Amino acid sequence: MLRVFLLALLVTSSNVYSELMVEKKTFSAENFTTFGGKSIAQINVGWESYGTLNEQKNNVILITHYFTGSSHAAGKYHPSDSSPGYWDAIIGPGKAIDTNRFFVISVDSLVNLGVHDPKVITTGPASIDPATGKPYGLTFPVVTIRDFVNVQKMVLGSLGIDELYAVIGPSMGSMQAIDWAVAYPDKVKRLVSVIGSGQSDAWTTAFLEHWATPIKLDANWRQGNYYDSQAPIAGLTHALMLITQNALSPAFFNQVGKQQLAYQPLEKAPLNNILHDHSIVKWLKQRAQSRANLMDANHLLYLVRACQLFVAGHNGDLASAVKNIQAPTLFLPATEDLLLMPYHATDTHTLLQAANKSSQLSLLDGPLGHLEGVAGIAGHAELIRHFLTEPQGDKNE
- As annotated, the active-site residues are 171, 337, 370
CB 177 within 8 A of CB 64: yes
Q: What is the DSSP string of 325-376?
A: --S-EEEE-BTT-SSS-THHHHHHHHHHHHTT--EEE--B--SSGGGGGTTT
E-assigned strand segments in the chain: 25-33, 39-50, 60-63, 91-92, 97-98, 103-107, 128-129, 134-135, 166-170, 191-194, 329-332, 359-361
Nearest one of 84, 345, 376 to 191, comparing CA atoms: 345
Distances 149 to 40, 95, 181, 306, 357 between C-alpha atoms, Å:
16, 26, 10, 12, 22
Angle of helix 233-247 relative to helix 297-308, nearest 10 degrees?
A: 40
Query: Length of the chain, please?
Result: 397
151: enclosing H helix or E strand: helix 145-158
- What is the C-alpha to C-alpha distance for residues 314 and 176, in angstroms, rounded to an integer? 11
